[in-house]
Amino acid sequence: MKRVYMMILVLIAIGCQNSPAKKDKPDVVILATGGTIAGAAASGTQSAYTSGAVTIDAMLKAVPGIEKLANIKGEQISNVGSQDMSFDIMLKVAKRCNQLLSGSNVDGIVITHGTDTMEETAYFLNLTVKSDKPVVMVGSMRPSTAVSADGPLNLYNAVAVAADPKAKGRGVLVVMNDQIHAAHSLTKTSTTSVQTFMSPLRGVVGVTAYGKDDWYNNPPWTHTSKSEFDISNVTKLPRVDIIFADADMEPDLIDASVKAGAKGIVIAGVGNGNMNKVSVDAAAAAVKQGVVVVRSSRVATGMVDRNVEVDDDKLGFIASDELNPQKSRILLSLALLKGDKPAQIQELFRTY
Ligand code: GLU
């Protein structure tokens, strides 16, 4: 009997040695890029301010209790207002995410970013980060010095989501004003309100309140670890322009874009991706010169379908499906690295 007890004790001891040490908290890295969340004004009630003036260390100090959610490390990637976000910085962020997430010592990433172009970077990372671990973007509408600044709680919630195992496999997420949005579907809808982000067609992925998350759905689009886009050796993206359509639009904007060397053009069309006849002719001429033309819409909600009022099959255009013009530009830029066949690119717009 004594011998059996001894053997059990030895087996337990061996088991303990072989199982990896349990972490007290998840490891989360914050990559800071700038934006209003890092903005500062001369007073708490002034609307004029400078984006990207505060460092990540100062931002973390303004969030009491954040250290209880995760072991946090901060890295400053850039410090710009997101109107100055560039493909260079996006590539840098994507490559750093891939480097960090490939190791076992990082469980999730939070990216602080301005809200103006948050949806572009979120969608770019959704296509280029090769991991199922949570990647969560966060910003704020009020600068860090404002009365009722929204940045600190947004940052607290974003770290909680990045540390939540249930956030895995949902693609890149954006956490703002207690809501969790999918990169594919969110868009900025107000120039100034703290409730600016909405996902008009698909709704939110979940909600978060003081670090407690509630999950509603999984984004249905292909993303991150299942994405076919690989930017590990990419340093530059092909030129893609967005042209805004309106009543009596001038078609020579399309000609100018082709002349300037665009490889792709996204039309922010009226209604279901429409434009006037002269512009359809200019876009068809662009296709004949090897430029890929995508019809998206300037309308805030709804999809753009093929062959509704425009004969895409005949003219060689692509319909953007649910992607708005700014996200269509991201997908088309990455797609053009792989080829320029309209049928294949159309399939990418259905998949991603
Ligand atoms: N232009 C700023 C930016 O995008 C303002 C928006 C914000 O961060 O809230 O960085």
Average pLDDT value for the chain? 93
Measured from the Cα of 116, ligand 1's closest atom is 4
- The three-point CA angle 343-183-105 to 5° equals 115
Q: Where are the domains of the chain?
A: 27-226, 240-351
Collect all residues with Cβ–Cβ distance below 8 Å to 128 and sequence separation of at least 6: 94, 98, 227, 229, 230, 231, 334
What is the Cα gyration radius of the chain?
23
State how beta strands 264-269 and 240-244 pair: parallel
Residues 122 and 114: their CA atoms lie apart, in Å, by: 11
User: Cα dist. 41→36, 47, 48, 64, 144 in Å?
Assistant: 10, 8, 7, 22, 8
Beta bridge partners, 76, equal 32
From 37, 79, 82, mutation site for ligand 1 pocket: most ligand atoms within 8 A of C-beta: 82
- Flag whether pLDDT at 67 surpasses 60: yes
pLDDT of 21: 64
Domains 27-226 and 240-351 share a fold: yes
- Flag whether pLDDT at 91 surpasses 80: yes
Encode pLDDT of 100-122 as tens digits: 999 999 999 999 999 999 999 99
Does residue 83 line the site of ligand 1, with CB under 6 A?
Answer: yes
| Confidence band of 278 (pLDDT split at 50, 70, 90) | very high
Collect all residues with Cβ–Cβ distance below 8 Å to 161 and sequence separation of at least 6: 134, 136, 167, 173, 175, 180, 208, 213
Beta bridge partners, 188, equal 197
- The neighbour count for residue 212, using CB atoms within 10 Å, is 10
- Residue corresponding to tokens 């693609």: 171
Taking residues 86-108, report their average pLDDT.
98
304 DSSP 8-state letter:
B
- Residue corresponding to tokens 């980060």: 129
Does residue 143 line the site of ligand 1, with CB under 6 A?
Answer: no
- Residue corresponding to tokens 């250290």: 67
- Flag whether pLDDT at 30 surpasses 70: yes
C-alpha count within 13 angstroms, C-beta hemisphere, residue 293: 33
In the numeric block, which tokens belong to residue 126?
């959704």
Please report which helix (H) or strand (E) contains residue 243, including its range. Answer: strand 240-244
CATH of 240-351, one of 3.90.650.10, 3.40.50.40, 3.30.230.10, 3.90.1150.10: 3.40.50.40
- The three-point CA angle 49-325-202 to 5° equals 90
Residues 84 and 182: their CA atoms lie apart, in Å, by: 23
- Flag whether pLDDT at 257 surpasses 50: yes
- Flag whether pLDDT at 40 surpasses 80: no
Find the 154 Cα to ligand 1 centroid distance in Å: 14
Taking residues 160-183, report their average pLDDT.
98
* Beta strand spans in 131-178 (E): 135-138, 173-176
**Burial letters for 179-210: b for 16+ Cβ neighbours within 10 Å, e otherwise?**
bbbbbbbbbbeeeeebebbbbeebebbbbbee
- Flag whether pLDDT at 7 surpasses 90: no
Q: In the sheet where 292-297 sits, what is the strand order?
A: 240-244, 264-269, 292-297, 318-319
Residues 87 and 339: their CA atoms lie apart, in Å, by: 19
- Flag whether pLDDT at 11 surpasses 70: no
Q: Which residues are catalytic?
A: 36
- Flag whether pLDDT at 145 surpasses 90: no
- CATH number, domain 27-226: 3.40.50.1170
Does residue 139 line the site of ligand 1, with CB under 6 A?
Answer: yes
Sign of CA dihedral 243, 248, 252, 258: positive
pLDDT of 16: 46
pLDDT of 124: 99
Name the residue with the closest Cα to ligand 1, atom 8.
Answer: 114
Residues 201 and 144: their CA atoms lie apart, in Å, by: 31
pLDDT of 43: 75
pLDDT of 50: 75
